[in-house]
Chain A
Amino acid sequence: MIELVDVSKVFDDGKNKVQAVSKVSLKVNKSEIYGIIGFSGAGKSTLLRCINLLERPTSGKVLFKGEDLTTLTEKELRKRRKKIGMIFQNFNLFNSRNVYDNIAYPLKGAKLSKEEEIKKIRALLDLVGLRDKEHAYPSQLSGGQKQRVAIARALANDPEVLLCDEATSALDPKTTKSILSLLKDLREKLGLTIILITHEMEVIKEICDRVAIMEDGRIIEEGSVIKIFSKPEKETTNRFIEGSSNADKVEELLDANNNILKIKEGEVLTRVHYLGQVTREAIISEASRKFNINASILTGNIEVINKTLIGKLLVLFSGRPENIEKGINYFKERGIKVEVIKDERNFTKLDSKCS
């Protein structure tokens, strides 16, 4: 549906050159929800605007259904833009127009009769759940309602793609959830392709199929959301994931030699990662019985992404050193990643006792 080929954007004001986007290539399939995440200044906003050419790329191709938008005349480009909707962080509604007229704005030139227009706009209002607000002005609406109007307006010309520019960043968590589920709904009902940028991993987790992590104008990592969450490769990716869970806050406690996490002699602190299907088995209690060791879960975080579980637990083992070893191996055999953080076992001491 949308394909970017080596897209670069340089801002040049005559004095300074700023490379906002450098050589980004990506492909978004039909009816896919594709997320681009990055810290502020990563270039994600500019990249999104390169898709509908609100920012013209300095080099590279922007393909929409196979057609390179950068080669079109302004007039042809404006026609294509009607098929690529866009919503914004600040909603950007026309304050001088009521809800109905806001949605009617892009319909000018669509050659609809008055009755068709009314029908169309009412259908859009139903779709976003704001039928009763037809005559309200933006100043009378809440943030979530404004974004719903913006979505209805963006969908007025039946676009195939919807670009979301930090669409939920100005909303509270509850409203964010409702807007995200509306977007999900639209994908189901209309087969809409959605490209969104955000700095919140929660948003990616909630609705995206695939995600790209952006840093310094480049895409540094890309893949399915499950893959990115379970096996992140880059440091920045990790930081985004850590920011959205608390499993790693423990490490801060450990570093500070906090009393809560004082590890006694003979104990092993591990981080256990698991994914999806294996989680139905009671592996921890099984290992505990089998090898006569104690496993206590200090903290943990379990994410549900696209109906798959991704777990990250901090487990403290205690017991005979060789049994702990066996226990850890038992985990590993079942495809569970075990990372030893702190090992306070003392084999030699115990060995000497035995002899």
Chain B
Amino acid sequence: MKEILQSLIPNVLNIKEELILGIYQTLTMVTVSGTLSLVVGILLGVVLVVTRKNGILENTRLYAIIEKIINTFRSIPFVILIALLIPVTRAIVGTAIGTKGAIVPLIFGTVPFLSRQIENALVEVDKGIIEAAKSMGSSPLEIIFRVYLREGLPGIIRGITITFISLIGLTAIAGSVGGGGLGDLAIRYGYQRFQTDVTIVTVIILLILVSIVQAVGNFLIKKISH
């Protein structure tokens, strides 16, 4: 067994510890920035839905402002966003390098995408159902928590799944510019030293991660849909 591996992926075996660290760093970036993005993204998504035209707390000015900010961040390529955010990152986490330094730009890169996903999921909730809730005397807050977030849950989970998958992609980019993780390994060994086996192994690991996220998402959607 060992011999087979030795002949197939010799370079990977030489950096075993680094590889494990890389996986750990990637997972850290995904979970930490993912969780924080979820909080902010869902909040913004809800605000977008309720303040949009004919929303339950219509405020077209606030909607326009949030929309402008989201569109701005979404149109900046992620690599440039990392550089652009260096002062902000330093101010928040004290450093702009390493896994810790990658988390801030990752959040800025993920939140706009996620809030749009959440907004789309909630807009899909039938207007008639919202009207019915209003007719039963529900307050806007009740409608958000008991109707929007519940009726829109399958769509929300779908949006979160897509967001996490794209977040895994972003961590690879963040890694390549000093964030560590699997992306960093692929660049340093696979790209710069032509150790193709390292590249292939990192790709396989990322593929597995993406598949797990997709499977969990599908499972949850199936479980809550009636």
Q: A88-B128, A88-B131, A96-B226 are in contact. Are A105 and B136 (CB under 8 A)?
A: yes
Flag B123-148 by CB within 8 Å of A: 1 or 0 each: 00010110111111111001000110
Please indicate the chain A residues that have their CB under 8 angstroms from the CB of B153 in the complex.
96
Q: Which of B83-137 contact A (CB under 8 A)?
A: 126, 128-129, 131-137
The docked-state distance in angstroms from the alpha carbon of A92 to that of B133 is 9
Could you tell me if B128 and A82 are in contact, using CB atoms closer than 8 angstroms?
Answer: no
User: How far apart are B63's CB and chain A's nearest CB, in angstroms?
Assistant: 16
Nearest Cβ distance between residue A9 and chain B, in whole angstroms? Answer: 15
Query: Is B126 in contact with A92, judged by CB distance below 8 angstroms?
Result: yes
Shortest distance in angstroms between A23's beta carbon and chain B's nearest beta carbon?
Answer: 25
Across the interface, do A81 and B135 meet the contact criterion of CB distance under 8 Å? yes
Known: A94-B147, A95-B226, A96-B151. A81 touches B128 (CB 8 A): no
Q: Which residues of B contact A253 (CB under 8 A)?
A: none
Cα A82 to Cα B224 with chains together (Å): 29
User: Complex Cα distance A95/B136, Å?
Assistant: 17
- Specify which chain A residues have a CB less than 8 angstroms from the CB of B137 in the assembled complex: 78-82, 106, 157
Which chain A residues border B138 with CB–CB below 8 Å?
78, 106
List A residues 75-97 near B (Cβ within 8 Å): 75, 78-82, 84-86, 88, 90, 92-97
B135 touches A54 (CB 8 A): yes
Say yes or no: A153 contacts B129, CB within 8 Å.
no
Is the CB–CB distance between B131 and A94 below 8 Å? no
With both beta carbons as reference points, the residue of chain B lying nearest to A97 in the complex is identified as: B150
Chain B 141-169 near chain A by CB (<8 Å), digits 1 or 0 = 01000110011010000000000000000
When distances are taken between beta carbons in the complex, the residues of chain B under 8 Å from A78 are: 137-139
Contact of B136 among A97, A139, A153 (CB under 8 A): A153
Q: Closest CB-CB distance, B222 to chain A, in whole Å?
A: 14
Alpha-carbon gap, A8 to B146, bound state (A): 33
B136 contacts A81, C-beta separation under 8 Å: yes
Q: How far is the CB of A73 from chain B (nearest CB, A)?
A: 12
Query: Which residues of B lie under 8 Å from residue A153 when comparing CB positions?
Result: 136
Instruction: Count A/B pairs, Cβ under 8 Å.
Output: 69
Q: Which of B129, B133, B136, B147 counts the most A-chain CB atoms under 10 A from its CB?
A: B136
Which chain B residue has the least Cβ–Cβ distance from A102? B132
Check: A52 CB closer than 8 A to any chain B CB: yes
Name the one of B129, B136, B226 contacting A82, with C-beta atoms under 8 angstroms. Answer: B136
* Chain A residues near B136 (CB-CB < 8 A): 81-82, 85-86, 105-106, 153-154, 156-157
Given contacts A54-B131, A137-B226, whether A94 and B150 have CB atoms under 8 Å apart is yes
Q: How many B residues touch A, CB cutoff 8 Å? A: 20
The answer to whether A92 touches B132 (Cβ under 8 A) is yes
For chain A, the count of residues having a C-beta within 8 Å of the partner chain is 34
Interchain CB contact under 8 A, A94 and B139: no
The contact of B226 among A81, A84, A88, A139, by CB within 8 Å, is: A139
Task: Let me know if B224 and A96 touch, CB within 8 A.
Answer: yes
- Chain B residues near A138 (CB-CB < 8 A): 226
The A30-53 residues at the B interface (CB cut-off 8 A) are 52
| Prevailing SS type, chain B contact patch | helix
- Inter-chain CA distance A106–B142, complex, in Å, is 11
Q: Are B226 and A86 in contact (CB under 8 A)?
A: no
- Most A CB atoms within 10 A — which of B133, B146, B224, B226? B226
Contact B132 A88 (CB under 8 A): yes
The reply to whether A52 and B150 form a contact with Cβ atoms under 8 Å apart is no
Indicate which residue in A90, A105, A106 contacts B128 across the interface (CB closer than 8 Å): A90
Q: How far apart are B197's CB and chain A's nearest CB, in angstroms? A: 48
Q: Is the CB of B151 within 8 A of A95?
A: yes
| Chain A residue, CB-CB nearest to B53 | A13
Task: Report A147-171 CB contacts with B as 1/0, cut-off 8 Å.
Answer: 0001001101100000100000000
Q: How far is the CA of A97 from the CA of B147 in the complex (A)?
A: 10
CB < 8 Å neighbour of B134 from A54, A80, A94: A54
Q: Contacts A96-B224, A105-B146 known; A86 to B151 CB distance under 8 Å?
A: no
Q: Which residue of B lies closest to A163 (CB)?
A: B135
Please name all residues of chain B whose beta carbon is closer than 8 Å to the beta carbon of A154 when the two chains form the complex: 135-136
Complex CA gap A78/B140 in Å reads 11
Does B135 lie within 8 Å of A52, measured CB to CB?
Answer: yes
Residue of A nearest to B127 (CB): A92
CA A82 to CA B134, docked complex, whole Å: 10
Chain B residues within an 8 Å CB radius of A82: 136-137
Within 8 Å CB of B147, what residues of A?
94
Once the chains are docked, how many angstroms separate the CA of A95 from the CA of B147? 10
Rounded to whole angstroms, the CA-CA distance of A79 and B139 in the bound complex is 10
Residues of B within 8 A of A150 (CB): 132
Contacts of B131 on A, CB cut-off 8 Å? Answer: 54, 88, 92
Listed by A's residue number, 15 A-B pairs whose Cβ atoms lie within 8 Å are A52-B135, A81-B135, A81-B137, A88-B128, A94-B129, A96-B150, A105-B146, A106-B137, A108-B142, A137-B226, A138-B226, A139-B226, A153-B136, A156-B136, A163-B135
Chain B residues near A (Cβ < 8 Å)? 126, 128-129, 131-139, 142, 146-147, 150-151, 153, 224, 226
Q: Which 7 A-B pairs have the closest CB atoms?
A: A137-B226, A92-B132, A86-B135, A81-B137, A106-B136, A92-B128, A78-B137
